[in-house]
């Protein structure tokens, strides 16, 4: 007992004792490295902000300016005058929202089947599904384009929405999380007469809020930043999205004015950045718990 008490007294240190400890550089080194890396990642965005609110003529001065000299909204007004930016924003929001909701439905249903239901060939089908993650999206670009054209969906938002409604990564992510939910909850529900769909709807989904939020954020951001698909499947200006709209602002050979382009980039990045910052705790929580049980 005395030995245990001595160990406790040695491990519990007062603030004064901690303050008297000698400075150890190895404890500060990780913070310095992380801080330097953060500055490197934030610097381009800060430069975009000053180019969006400042004068275009001072965007490329050396050393670079990190704060606008005479801040104004002229570049934002010019961005809306050059291209229908509000229409591009609406199209992007529409496509990203529909795809996000669709993936939450399809991926959760498939993941529940792989995690809880028993059927012949389940492991083989799941292995084939995961194998599709190793196929680059560029490989399926031409076949998907041919299918969309034959279905008469070329130059429609459906050509961007339908291929993105199913995500093998989303199925895998949700399946791993569903496996961590105790099976006793389902057994108790079955005793009360609950069906398979009732268990999925009233037990599995309410307990999977963090991972569903994570999948929603990742899907929304990916669709918001999508560029190759809209560039190939959409040929009408009134149906285009933000990423292609920024390319149109850049002009041929990159001859567009930097100020309006920076303003467009700022307006395209800020909404997604706000959503990510507000919901990032759900991503961390889901990653910590996903994959505990396989």
- Residue 146 and residue 20 in one domain: no
- List pLDDT tens digits, range 32-54: 888 888 888 888 888 888 888 88
Answer with the one of 57, 72, 87 that is the final residue of a domain.
Answer: 72
The residue among 72, 93, 116 that closes a domain is 72
Can you give the pLDDT at residue 80? 86
Q: How far apart are CA 181 and CA 169, in angstroms?
A: 19
Q: Is residue 294 part of a domain?
A: no
Domain boundary among 23, 45, 72: 72
Per residue in 217-264, pLDDT tens?
889 989 998 988 898 999 888 899 998 888 887 765 455 677 888 888
Number of domains in the chain: 2
Written as six digits, the tokens of 119 are 């059927």
Alpha-carbon torsion, ordered 116, 121, 123, 124, to 10 deg:
-150
What is the reported pTM?
0.79
**What does the chain look like in DSSP terms, one character per residue?**
-HHHHHHHHHH---HHHHHTSPP-HHHHHHHHHHHHHHHHHHHHHHHHHHHHHS-GGGTT-SSPPSS-SS--SHHHHHHHHHS-HHHHHHHHHHHHHHHHHHHHHHHHHHHHHHHH---TTHHHHHHHHHHGGGS-TTTTHHHHHHHHHHTT-TTSTHHHHGGGS--HHHHHHHHHHHTTS-HHHHHHHHHTT--HHHHIIIIITGGGHHHHHHHHHHHHHHHHT--HHHHHH---GGG--HHHHHHHHH-GGG-S-HHHHHHHHHHHHHHHHHHHHHHHHHHHHHHHHTTS--
Q: Confidence band (pLDDT; 50, 70, 90) for 294?
A: very low
Rounded CA gap, 148 and 154, in Å? 6
Do residues 135 and 53 both lie within one domain? Answer: no
- Give yes or no: residues 125 and 57 share one domain: no
CA neighbours within 13 Å on the CB side: how many for 209?
Answer: 6
Lowest-pLDDT range of 104-108, 119-123, 168-172? 119-123
Based on the domain organization, do 125 and 242 belong to the same domain? yes
Domain that includes residue 203, residue range: 77-289
Q: Residue 181: is its pLDDT beyond 60? A: yes
The residue among 216 and 253 whose pLDDT is bigger is 216
């Amino acid at each position: 007992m005395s030995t245990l008490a001595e160990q406790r007294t040695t491990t519990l240190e007062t603030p004064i004792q901690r303050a008297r400890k000698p400075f150890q550089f190895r404890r500060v080194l990780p913070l310095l490295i992380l801080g330097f890396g953060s500055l490197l990642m934030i610097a381009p965005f800060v430069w975009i902000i000053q180019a969006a609110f400042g004068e275009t003529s001072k965007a490329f001065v050396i050393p670079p300016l990190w704060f606008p000299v005479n801040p104004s909204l002229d570049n934002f007004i010019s961005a809306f005058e050059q291209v229908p930016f509000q229409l591009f924003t609406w199209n992007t929001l529409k496509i990203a929202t529909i795809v996000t909701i669709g993936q939450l439905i399809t991926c959760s249903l498939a993941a529940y089947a792989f995690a809880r239901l028993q059927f012949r060939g389940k492991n083989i089908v799941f292995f084939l599904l995961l194998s599709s993650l190793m196929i680059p999206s560029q490989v399926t670009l031409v076949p998907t384009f041919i299918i969309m054209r034959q279905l008469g969906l070329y130059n429609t938002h459906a050509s961007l929405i339908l291929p993105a409604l199913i995500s093998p990564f989303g199925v895998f992510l949700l399946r791993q999380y569903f496996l961590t939910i105790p099976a006793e909850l389902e057994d108790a529900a079955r005793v009360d007469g609950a069906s398979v769909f009732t268990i999925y709807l009233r037990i599995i989904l309410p307990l999977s809020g963090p991972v569903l939020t994570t999948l929603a954020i990742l899907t929304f951001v990916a669709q918001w930043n999508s560029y190759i698909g809209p560039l190939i499947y959409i040929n009408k200006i009134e149906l285009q999205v933000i990423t292609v709209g920024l390319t149109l602002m850049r002009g041929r050979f990159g001859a567009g004015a930097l100020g309006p382009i920076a303003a467009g980039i700022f307006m395209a990045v800020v909404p997604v950045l706000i959503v990510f910052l507000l919901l990032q705790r759900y991503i961390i929580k889901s990653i910590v718990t996903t994959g505990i049980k396989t």
